[in-house]
């Protein structure tokens, strides 16, 4: 009986250690919100539309890093000033399931010549870092950045954002959008691209349809095409944050974009 009691005690201790180890492993998956002080222009750009943000990965090669951010800013500014949003989708509905299907394609394109000219005209107005990324503010025509927008502060949430969606305004359109990625640049670009396409789709849509009778089966071929020029689009407010989950960092971008 004494040996049996000792054996039971050993089993209890080993089981307890195993349970404790599992609990430690479970609590090891900690989600941590990380926020750093950022200049005011990251949260809200001046309303005149003369400023644009560009980003690049942090690098010891400062010239290349800044040039990469400038190139991104030139592309963004060019597409926001004037670009075409093209959306195509087709679908076929048939009694024969093997003949049914759908496909969709969306694209936003700008002028390479316009982008090159904007790149030449851009001037660095201010700069900052956010974790492993360099964020720069450029101006195309030498506009002065208000000093209060250079001051750094921490905002924990974008109070103006509730959900993705378009808001028709009396003098234009306002669009709120969110995107996330393990790469801050990808999240920013994805948010702006989706916003342009959604605004274009709201503005114009042409639907063409036809019904074809074949072998007593009714087949519907539907093609939807939207081609809309976007002009004078600008980012009015933005918010970026990062999360660390099990040592993996992800970035979230919230944007408010508006156009007349």
pLDDT at residue 40 tops 90: yes
What is the CA angle 142-197-182, rounded to 5? 80
Segment 21-34, tens digit of pLDDT: 333 333 445 567 67
In contact, 141 and 51? CB cutoff 8 Å: no
In a domain, 212, yes or no: yes
In a domain, 181, yes or no: yes
Segment 107-156, tens digit of pLDDT: 444 457 888 888 999 999 999 999 999 999 999 888 889 999 999 999 98
In a domain, 16, yes or no: no
**CA dihedral of residues 192, 35, 74, 71 (deg, nearest 10):** -120
pLDDT at residue 246 tops 70: yes
The mean per-residue pLDDT over the stretch 238-245 comes to 90
Residue 95: strand pairing partners: none
pLDDT at residue 35 tops 90: no
Could you tell me how far CA 192 lies from the centroid of its own chain? 6
**Cα gap 86→80, rounded to integer Å:** 15
Segment 65-117, tens digit of pLDDT: 999 999 999 988 888 775 444 454 444 444 444 444 444 434 444 457 888 88
Alpha helices in the chain (DSSP H): 2-27, 40-43, 62-81, 112-121, 184-203
What is the CA angle 143-145-151, rounded to 5? 170
More confident call, 81 vs 53:
53
Q: How high is the pLDDT of residue 25?
A: 36
In a domain, 17, yes or no: no
Tokens representing 163 are 């959900």
In a domain, 119, yes or no: yes
In a domain, 202, yes or no: yes
Query: Domain range for residue 123?
Result: 31-259
In a domain, 23, yes or no: no
Q: How high is the pLDDT of residue 256?
A: 93
In a domain, 15, yes or no: no
Q: How high is the pLDDT of residue 217?
A: 47
The mean per-residue pLDDT over the stretch 185-214 comes to 70
Q: What is the pTM of this model?
A: 0.71
Mean pLDDT of the chain: 74
Q: How high is the pLDDT of residue 169?
A: 79
User: Domains in the chain: how many in total?
Assistant: 1
- Per the listing, tokens 């003098």 go with 171
CB atoms within 10 A of CB 44: 15
- For the chain, helix (H) and strand (E) counts, in that order, are 5, 14
SS3 154: coil
């Amino acid at each position: 009986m004494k040996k049996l009691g000792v054996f039971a005690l050993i089993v209890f201790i080993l089981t307890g250690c195993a349970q404790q180890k599992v609990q430690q492993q479970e609590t090891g998956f900690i989600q941590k919100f990380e926020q750093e002080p950022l200049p005011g222009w990251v949260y809200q750009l001046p309303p005149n539309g003369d400023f644009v943000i560009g980003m690049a990965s942090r690098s010891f090669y400062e010239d290349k890093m800044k040039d990469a951010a400038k190139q991104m800013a030139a592309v963004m500014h060019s597409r926001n000033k004037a670009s075409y949003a093209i959306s195509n989708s087709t679908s076929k509905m048939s009694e024969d399931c093997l003949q049914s299907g759908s496909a969709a394609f969306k694209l936003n394109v700008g002028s390479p010549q316009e982008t090159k000219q904007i790149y030449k005209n851009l001037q660095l107005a201010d700069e900052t870092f956010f974790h492993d990324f360099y964020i720069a503010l450029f101006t195309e025509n030498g506009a002065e950045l208000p000093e209060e927008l250079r001051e750094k502060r921490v905002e924990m949430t974008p109070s103006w954002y509730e959900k993705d969606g378009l808001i028709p305004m009396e003098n234009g359109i306002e669009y709120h959008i969110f995107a996330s990625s393990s790469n801050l640049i990808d999240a920013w670009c994805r948010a702006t691209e989706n916003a342009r396409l959604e605004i274009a789709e709201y503005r114009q849509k042409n639907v063409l349809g036809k019904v074809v009778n074949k072998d007593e089966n009714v087949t519907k071929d539907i093609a939807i095409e939207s081609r809309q020029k976007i002009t004078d689009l600008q980012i009015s407010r933005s918010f970026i944050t990062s999360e660390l989950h099990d040592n993996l960092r992800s970035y979230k971008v919230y944007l408010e974009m508006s156009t007349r």
